[in-house]
Amino acid sequence: MQSVSFTTMAEGTKEEYEFLAAKEAQELTKVPGRILAMLRAMDEETGYQVSRLEHSLQSATRAYRDGRDEDYVVSCLVHDIGDMISPANHSQAAASVIRPYVSADLHWIILHHGVFQEYYYAHHYGKDRNSRDRYRDHPLYDATVEFCESYDQNCFDPDYDWESLEFFAPMVERVFGREPTGFV
């Protein structure tokens, strides 16, 4: 079978959906390479002194050197990957990418890091820099503050000695190469 015969999902047979499941399994093996390609595409001028890729490499390097686990390091590496497809809600896009591969806690941190990051600059735009405080009672509030303080807002230094993408590639392959835990 080269393709299914149905034109509406309701018409699909068990055999056709088994065929599609096999195709999906093949697609999932390509995810790590696609993530690495997206990260490479982030190596362009941004107005900052570093590219988005270099920012992400600094974030992941700091987490790695602090002894964070591999899922945390890779989450740091891809926390801004959403900028490539949806700058207006980059946190949500990045969180969607990592959700099937990391813990619910890491997903929440990445999902909300954008609003937490506003603490450092929103007031310059006449916005509320403390908008993150609406999550003050959430159990991951402090962890997200720490993520932004230690692995995001301070990662724009062109003189910081960060690791290369090739250094992190095996980690990306392991995290995104595992069986997804489900789609939310």
Q: Tell me which CATH homologous superfamily contains domain 14-175.
A: Hypothetical protein af1432 (1.10.3210.10)
Distances (CA, A) of 98 to 46, 62, 79, 87: 24, 19, 9, 17
Tell me what pLDDT residue 182 has. 62
What percent of the chain stands above pLDDT 70?
Answer: 98
Instruction: Report how far residue 60's alpha carbon sits from residue 72's, in angstroms, rounded to the nearest whole number.
Output: 8
| Lowest mean pLDDT across 39-53, 75-89, 169-183 | 169-183
What percentage of residues in the chain have a pLDDT greater than 90? 91
Tens digit of each residue's pLDDT (9 = 90 or more) over 81-124: 999 999 899 999 999 999 999 999 999 999 999 999 999 999 99
Q: What is the pLDDT of residue 184?
A: 47
Confidence (pLDDT) at 17: 94
Residue predicted with more confidence, 87 or 134: 134
* Mean pLDDT of the 156-160 span: 98
Q: Which residues, 6+ apart, have CB-to-CB distance to 47 below 8 Å? A: none
- The tokens for 114 are 């954008």
- Single pTM value for the model: 0.93
C-alpha distances out from residue 149 to 63, 100, 156, 176, Å: 12, 25, 12, 26
Q: What is the pLDDT of residues 58-82, one digit of tens each?
A: 999 999 999 999 999 999 999 999 9
Chain-wide mean pLDDT for the chain?
95
pLDDT at 168 over 90: yes
pLDDT at 1: 83
Tokens 């069986």 identify what position? 179
